[in-house]
Chain A
Amino acid sequence: MGLRTGTFHENYAEDMAVFQTRLQWGASAALVFLLCICPLFSSDRMLTILTTIGIAVISVHGLNILTGYCGQISIGHSGFMAVGGYTSAILCAKLGWPFWAALPCGAVAAGIAGLLFGLPSLKIKGFYLIMATIAAQFIIIWFIIQLRGITGGTDGLLVPKPMLGPIALSSKTNYYYLVMIFAVLATITAHNIVRTRAGRAFIAIRDNDLAAEVMGVSLWSYKLQAFFIGCIYAGAAGSLLIHYVRFASIEQFPFMDSVWYLGMLIVGGMGNTAGAIFGVIALKLLDELVTIIGPVLAAAVAPQAAASLALISHGLIIIIFLIFEPRGLHHRWEMIKNYFRLWPFSHEALE
């Protein structure tokens, strides 16, 4: 899709820049500013929603690199989040590590778990890989239950208050800022990783793995790199989630979450950084809508209507997007931008 008329690139650096126009700079700066001042006027509930959106954005960026760019489908993302979350929870609660040291350790642990379960991807693809990652999800959760001595098993694990030096991150506002810093960093790194040599290799593998291998892209190395990077994001997100609720339990990492992360990618548009963010926001807002409408429906129809509404609405939205908008919200956004390319003139001369 083209840029707005009147934007000219005079050298390679301009052509490759992340922000290509002043407008993009301004919009991004305004967005970051808006994120900064959000706690001033939003309620507690609003902050909670924004924080969970931030955590999900980090996780979905990882899944986007793994599935959207490298084409390795994973339905075990929530399991990898659990590895990251539990690792940092154990380090903090049992060994007394500070929060800032435990979080990267959790992320790396999730990355290593990703490498381990990514190994089958060297031999299999498509549906078989999906099954392997589903298996990963259940095996990880089972191990967490089995290792009762250090993880607390099904009872869960209390995590101490996260501290960042002298600052306690216990208040909602403080934690909101922390998550948003991570989310912005994750967005920047995710957007740049796919512009590097490794990122181009990922795209080559996704589009045609045989051709990529013939051209000298090492499938072995780059598929595992994609798993490692994607799961590091998951680990960081899981660790942030655990420290947010200050309690680690397996209920925070259900199998269905893995499915919804993939659903977010589909709704937002795969293989695009902005698409990942769009998808998370769309599905999280749908979640909120369901929590508002659910009780009303439960009172009007039947007590179980609220639970079924959540399942049916999520399933239906994915079905609708797959049939009518398979390229996701991001594609729609590009089309809107394209419409305004020559605005206010209505027609565009075909070249």
Chain B
Amino acid sequence: MTFFLQLIVTGFSQGMIYALIAIGFVIILKCSEVFNIAQGHFVLIGGYLGWTFLVPLGLPIWAALPAAIATAAIMGLLIERLMLRPMIGQPVLAVVMMTIALSTVLGGLATLLWGAEYKAYHGLLPTITMRVGSISIPSESLIGLIVSVVCVAILMFVFRYTKIGLAMRATAEDLQVVQSVGIRATTVYAVSWVIASVVGVIGGILLGGVSGANMELADVGLKAFAVVLLGGTNSVGGAIVAGIILGMLENVAAGYLDPLLPGGGLAQVFPFFVMIVVLVFRPHGLFGLAHIERV
């Protein structure tokens, strides 16, 4: 029972980070109908950025985080302007290939700048140790949980109470109406890319603080896709719930089934099984709107 609860707790905080990354994906998707395959590579860049600011530059955490966020915002702006702006109105495949190409370029840049090496900055993030009964809550994952919750709360606030948030929600609803009332759609796209890249980078720093930064951080993006599909592609709330569900399921499945399987590694493919099941039986996810096609 303790083992099970331990898996659930670890899964919960991990799931919260997945949810954070998945939200970045959903925001771009809702605002500009672009499927951003490179979301995982924002996480990768984030993990290495965290290391760069914390270890070689030796900044304290309160200075390193804003610096990483600023870098991420510039990266998001550049990507939107240079790569995605020419793709407006192009078919799905062209846009998806563009984001895939972006992901390889980001991977290549990470290799060039950081040598694809394992960079640990374990223990540099602030820690809060907590024990509930016999279950120990890992301190890094608690920090991850808190930061994720704060980020999600800020995003929710922005969407609900600010003008740009309203513009973004309106763009998600109907592009033509938005353009006719004089909102610049391209600004909304740029902001959505900035948010996605910032959110990805924060997720990367959190994950990097737990397990160190390496090239495998990019694979988290694939888990975020499973989260998005499970939650429904057009639902921010769904992404959060699905992120937590997937984080827990993955940990429990890996914890109990991995010893039984010779090759192991179930945690890596588990999201894909979830993906296939969701796509076959409930393509619009748990909380998404069913898309009805009319002729």
Contacts and interface: CB of A to CB of B under 8 A. Distances in A.
B261 interface: yes
Contacts of A145: 263, 265
B176 interface: no
- A-B complex: 3 closest residue pairs judged by Cβ atoms: A311-B108, A312-B108, A315-B105
Interface string B63-93: 0000000000000000000010011001011
Interface string A283-297: 000000000000000
B179 interface: no
Contacts of B222: 134, 138
Interface stretch (B15-23, B156-164, B182-190, B276-284): B276-284
A40 interface: no
Given A210-B293, A304-B116, A326-B94, A312 B279 contact: no
Interface residues of A, number: 50
B269 A148 contact: no
A190 B73 CA distance: 46
B279 to A, nearest CB: 5
Interface in A100-145: 119-120, 123-124, 126-128, 130-132, 134-136, 138-139, 142, 145
Contacts of B292: none
Contacts of A311: 104-105, 107-108, 111
B121 interface: no
A307 B102 contact: no
Contacts of A128: 229, 279, 283
B98 A322 contact: yes
Given A123-B280, A135-B272, A304-B116, A146 B261 contact: yes
B273 interface: yes
A322 B293 contact: no
A135 B279 CA distance: 11
A322 B109 contact: no
B112 A127 contact: no
Contacts of B279: 120, 123-124, 128, 131-132, 135
A142 B101 contact: no
Given A135-B276, A322-B97, A154 B263 contact: yes
B295 interface: yes
